[in-house]
Structure 1
Amino acid sequence: MHSTQTIVPATTLTTPVLLLMAVATGLCAGSNYFNQPLLHSIAVALDVSDATAALTVTVSQLAYALGLLLFVPLGDMLERRSLASGLMLLAAAGLFISGYAGSFAMLVAGTVMTGLFSVAAQTLVPMAATLSEPQRSGRAVGLVMSGLLSGILLARSAAGLLSDLGGWHTVYRAAGCLMVLLALALWHALPASRNPVALRYGQVLRSLVALAAHHPRLRSRTLLGALTFASVSVLLSSTTLLLSGPGFALGDSQIGLVGLLGVAGAMMASVAGRLNDRGWGLATSAGCLLLLLVSWGALRLGLASLPWILLGTLLIDIALAGIHISNQGVIYQLDPGARSRINAVYMTGYFAGAATGSALGSLAWRLGGWNGVCVAGAVLALTSAAALRYDYELARKR
């Protein structure tokens, strides 16, 4: 199960290269969130209901989770630079399909393809850890993850603004072009890197189960990540429905601008990475989990008050980023030679939690409106606290 890690001088990844990786991961991850502020516009343009259009949120996250399981482990098997660039080109093809979709079925097909192959982002994150000095890996991962989280948050804003300028298709077409350019740039900027131990694909997939069985804290941190992202996804799948409704009547661009608040959350990724390097990972997780609980209280007050919505969104994005980086700080130290596979286990659970949260958010909205959404999100946040308690006990036993 253990394997030898590729040894590359830490100077290989300069700050400009890390920033390029951050932009690429941001675009890859963000590509799965373009639809969120556009749901009503998509529903009108493709002649489907808002609830049907909202299914694309769940579909994108399920496709991403499947891609994590099938393709991210290849980072411990294939040459990593080629893998990341190739996946990005395939994701660009999915974006173009969505960008020229004339039917809901075609949009779903493009969404699935983008979700499957945009997992290129998750091949770049463990590369940042692998190709950096051990004492600086937290900083490197935090920087790249800042880009990823910024991409998720800015995607909603960019989609809303471009929709007002040229229609809901515009963001997909523009992102597809940018994805191709970044794939080529990464091919030229990144060093060649591969695991010197030869592995077959069947071995790689079987080892995922073995890694999860062998490392209790991989299981506990995956559970924590899945529950926290599920809680946040309850919000992501329903905020557009609230803000575009009669209470606020906001347009696509205005809804997208709400996502800009989350940039503070993305900046938390860099801070959390540095705290992990100093050994404060558990404390960071606990503090951010408390913020997650508080955020749902603020959001509950936002039924008729936009400032409370804005505050709750800000807090929930900070909480998600801090917990996620703390989780990665733990799991990447479990087996440095299997980081891609460990990341695949964790991120598959992470986005399976996101898909579950999106589905629960849509269900809660239909059954109980905004109050139902807040209850569902708060319950998942409380369950996350139990998962963190379990991880704390495991850490004490080491």
Structure 2
Amino acid sequence: MNSTPASPTLAAGASAAPALGAALTLLLATATGLAVASIYYVQPLLGLLSADFGVGSATIGLLPTLTQLGYGAAILLLSPLGDRYDRRRIIVVKAATLVAALASAAVAPGFAALCVASIAIGLTATLAQDLVPAAATLAPEAERGRRVGQVMTGLLLGILLSRVAAGSLAALAGWRAVYGTAAVAVALVMPLLWRGLPRFVPATQAGYGALLASMAGLWTRYPALRRAALAQGLLSVAFSAFWSTLALVLAGPEFGQGSAVAGAFGLAGAAGALAAPLAGGMADRRGPQAVIRAAALLVFVAFAAEAVAPASLWGLVAVAVVFDLGVQAALVSHQSVIYSLDPASRSRLNAVLVSSMFVGMASGAALGSALLAAFGWRAVPALGALAALGALAVARRGG
């Protein structure tokens, strides 16, 4: 592909206010949501896939596992390339390969082929983690938190609404239609990204090995990065413990609800996600540390109340809205902190932060499931409250 006059060159660490208007912000938010949604479509499809391919529940569970493993590996191994090469080219190449991966899943002739496609989807869905640093680079410093928050709203809505969309479409047209529609959606935004984004001059000429090794140097050099990674990782423990056990809890004797209600809880979480731009704006005006402390306290209060309150479906809805708001507000504010540390290393800084979240989510899912089995539902929000309290303690050390 050749560059066009519509795509000017932008230094990787520069901030260019005119380059990130409302239209481009909307495009980045949409593309980010579509990319990250790709790794969650499979979750509500597992029953259909199990029946279609004739495999048991333990085997079909490989699909979301392989997708998440591909995503986690690519965050560490591919996302840092945004500091070394033209980020626009990386974004478009990843979008094209994501289209191919989704299309391969849609026509997969067997379970093994779908497993391979799932890995590819996870690897290329990290397109989302290239778009967010791009937004941070394009935004003027005074508006960075708000603009990144707007793009993050797309990412968060993609996570929370993907299950609802996939389940509804699969019920109407089958699971292959989910992957096929997703491929078409990403294909439609791909040329818009190529024309709308400027070319980014690489921030470093370091080799690939040195680029990966430098992330350890960033961790050592910046205490603010370590605090952000630890605090957001703890909040991710709480986030994942709740969402990974919710369907089982709703189906249990206390609530007696089916999968449709569990899927609808994504809408409750989306209400919290919509607060991300507001949190970014507050971080711009009052400083991110104040927002982070308030957000962690909000998560603590929500889970502590659920741990002791009587069983109530509407109470669970309120918890989902409040704690999601807190987790997302903290994430946007933490991104505002780390993106200001070293403009030339934004992709690597983002990779460190998101990797800590990935570890937190994996830990939260494992701990939440174990606590639910051993002690019942109340232990899960108790874990969330404890994790949020830890995040608040870390945030208070940041001043």
Q: Do these two structures clear the TM 0.5 threshold for a shared fold by scoring above it?
A: yes
1:128 equivalent in structure 2:
135
Deviation of 1:31 after TM superposition, in Å, equals: 1.7
1:241 equivalent in structure 2:
248
2:349 to 323, 342, 348: 342
C-alpha distance in structure 2 between counterparts of 1:365 and 1:102, whole Å: 37
> 1:32 is paired with a residue of what secondary structure?
coil
1:12 equivalent in structure 2:
19
Aligned residues of 1:98 and 1:110 also touching (Cα < 8 A): yes
Deviation of 1:250 after TM superposition, in Å, equals: 4.6
2:301 equivalent in structure 1:
294
1:141 partnered with 2:144: no
1:373 partnered with 2:372: no
1:278 partnered with 2:272: no
2:159 to 152, 156, 160: 152
AA of the residue aligned to 1:342: L
Aligned residues of 2:306 and 2:378 also touching (Cα < 8 A): no
> 2:378 is paired with a residue of what secondary structure?
helix
1:31 equivalent in structure 2:
38
C-alpha distance in structure 2 between counterparts of 1:261 and 1:136, whole Å: 28
C-alpha distance in structure 2 between counterparts of 1:356 and 1:229, whole Å: 9
AA of the residue aligned to 1:30: A
C-alpha distance in structure 1 between counterparts of 2:15 and 2:224, whole Å: 28
Aligned 1:1-398 pairs, distance under 5 A: 5-7=12-14, 9-48=16-55, 50=57, 53=60, 56-101=63-108, 104-195=111-202, 197-244=204-251, 248=255, 250-297=257-304, 299-300=306-307, 305-390=312-397, 392=398, 395=399
AA of the residue aligned to 2:277: S
Cα deviation code 1:336-356 (max 9, x no counterpart): 121111111111112122222
Deviation of 1:62 after TM superposition, in Å, equals: 3.3
Deviation of 1:21 after TM superposition, in Å, equals: 0.4
Deviation of 1:85 after TM superposition, in Å, equals: 1.4
Note closer, same or farther for the CA distance 1:90–1:248 as it changes in structure 2 (3 Å cut). Answer: farther
Cα deviation code 1:357-393 (max 9, x no counterpart): 2233333344344334334333333332332234x2x
Aligned residues of 1:64 and 1:351 also touching (Cα < 8 A): no
Cα deviation code 1:85-137 (max 9, x no counterpart): 11122223333344345655444433322122111111111111111221122
Aligned residues of 1:26 and 1:148 also touching (Cα < 8 A): yes
AA of the residue aligned to 2:160: L
C-alpha distance in structure 2 between counterparts of 1:108 and 1:242, whole Å: 29
C-alpha distance in structure 1 between counterparts of 2:337 and 2:49, whole Å: 40
> 1:83 is paired with a residue of what secondary structure?
helix
> 1:238 is paired with a residue of what secondary structure?
helix
AA of the residue aligned to 1:171: V
Note closer, same or farther for the CA distance 1:114–1:169 as it changes in structure 2 (3 Å cut). Answer: same
**Greater shift in the superposed pair: 369-378 or 287-296:** 369-378
Note closer, same or farther for the CA distance 1:5–1:188 as it changes in structure 2 (3 Å cut). Answer: closer
C-alpha distance in structure 1 between counterparts of 2:366 and 2:84, whole Å: 34
Cα deviation code 1:302-325 (max 9, x no counterpart): 885321221111112111111101
C-alpha distance in structure 1 between counterparts of 2:204 and 2:55, whole Å: 50
C-alpha distance in structure 2 between counterparts of 1:362 and 1:88, whole Å: 34
AA of the residue aligned to 2:137: T
Note closer, same or farther for the CA distance 1:283–1:304 as it changes in structure 2 (3 Å cut). Answer: same
AA of the residue aligned to 1:156: R
**Greater shift in the superposed pair: 160-169 or 208-217:** 160-169
Cα deviation code 1:260-282 (max 9, x no counterpart): 11222222110111111113322
C-alpha distance in structure 2 between counterparts of 1:216 and 1:196, whole Å: 22
How big is the alpha-carbon RMSD for the aligned residues of Structure 1 and Structure 2?
2.6
**Greater shift in the superposed pair: 377-386 or 9-18:** 377-386
Percent identity between matched residues is: 38
> 2:377 is paired with a residue of what secondary structure?
helix
2:3 equivalent in structure 1:
none
Aligned residues of 1:156 and 1:257 also touching (Cα < 8 A): no
AA of the residue aligned to 1:326: S
Deviation of 1:186 after TM superposition, in Å, equals: 0.7
In structure 1, runs of 5+ residues without a counterpart are none
Aligned residues of 2:62 and 2:115 also touching (Cα < 8 A): no
In structure 2, runs of 5+ residues without a counterpart are 1-10
Note closer, same or farther for the CA distance 1:313–1:41 as it changes in structure 2 (3 Å cut). Answer: farther
Aligned residues of 2:307 and 2:379 also touching (Cα < 8 A): no
TM-score normalised by L of structure 2? 0.88
Deviation of 1:8 after TM superposition, in Å, equals: 6.2
Note closer, same or farther for the CA distance 1:136–1:27 as it changes in structure 2 (3 Å cut). Answer: same
TM-score normalised by L of structure 1? 0.88
Note closer, same or farther for the CA distance 1:93–1:355 as it changes in structure 2 (3 Å cut). Answer: farther
